[in-house]
């Protein structure tokens, strides 16, 4: 199924549904209803049914969804039936925390390369991966057939490094730096900004204080 056939809002909810289904699988639930998924996902059953309808006729009325089959179907739609090869650029505290997290492989991602510009870090071990110099960026990305790059770099150097990453053929970037990236057409970028999210939470606290 082409990505353009599925609304963006639905695409953003699919990983949440997948996480819920993996939990259901862990709890040894062979079948789950749209109500059950909705309760775990924090939404409503009608929304779940509508979102999943974009993936095809998957459930059985009055019975629900086969957990194993739905996991497989959503994983296929998200393109994670196998492990996606990921690189982290920037091995500071944030990059280090990401590399040490053990849950990525269970979600379909394998961090196989790490880069940094600090001579003291280059050549050292990062949880089983040798940190490479950013001078080797293009070569190592190509040699390891990296598909997704996580930018965990200082804001001042992120765009320059992103230019090199996209120049090396990378089509997907997760940007953790507090800077908006300009990338060529055809490159997907997801921006994660904790300060923005904290400010949004602060807004709700402020509104609550005005009541």
CATH for the stretch 3-77:
1.10.10.10
Domain ranges of the chain: 3-77, 84-195
Domain 84-195 in CATH 3.40.50.300: no
CA distances from 203 to 194, 197, 211 (A): 14, 10, 13
pLDDT in tens, the chain (211 residues): 444 488 989 998 999 999 999 999 999 999 999 999 999 999 999 999 999 999 887 877 878 999 999 999 999 998 887 889 999 999 999 999 999 988 888 788 999 999 999 999 999 999 999 999 999 999 999 999 999 999 999 999 999 999 999 999 999 999 999 899 999 999 999 998 888 888 888 988 988 766 5
The string of pLDDT tens digits covering residues 34-87 is 999 999 999 999 999 999 999 887 877 878 999 999 999 999 998 887 889 999
Give CA–CA dist 16/13, Å, rounded. 5
At 210 the pLDDT is 60
């Amino acid at each position: 199924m082409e990505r353009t056939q599925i609304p963006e809002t639905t695409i953003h909810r699919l990983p949440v549904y997948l996480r819920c289904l993996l939990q259901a699988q862990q709890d040894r639930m062979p079948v789950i209803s749209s109500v059950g998924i909705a309760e775990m996902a924090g939404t409503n059953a009608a929304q779940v049914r509508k979102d999943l309808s974009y993936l095809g006729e998957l459930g059985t009325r009055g019975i629900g969804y086969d957990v194993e089959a739905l996991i497989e179907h959503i994983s296929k739609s998200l393109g994670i039936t196998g492990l996606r090869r990921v690189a982290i650029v920037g091995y500071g505290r944030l990059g280090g925390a990401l590399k040490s997290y053990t849950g990525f492989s269970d979600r379909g991602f394998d961090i196989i390369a790490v880069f940094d510009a600090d001579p003291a870090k280059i050549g050292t071990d990062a949880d089983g991966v040798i940190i490479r110099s950013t001078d080797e960026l293009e070569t190592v990305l190509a040699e390891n057939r990296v598909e997704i790059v996580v930018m965990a770099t200082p804001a001042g150097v992120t765009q320059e490094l992103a230019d090199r990453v996209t120049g090396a053929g990378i089509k997907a970037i997760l940007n953790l730096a507090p800077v908006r990236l300009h990338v060529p057409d055809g490159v997907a970028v997801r921006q994660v900004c904790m300060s923005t999210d904290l400010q949004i939470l602060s807004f709700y606290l402020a509104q609550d204080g005005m009541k």
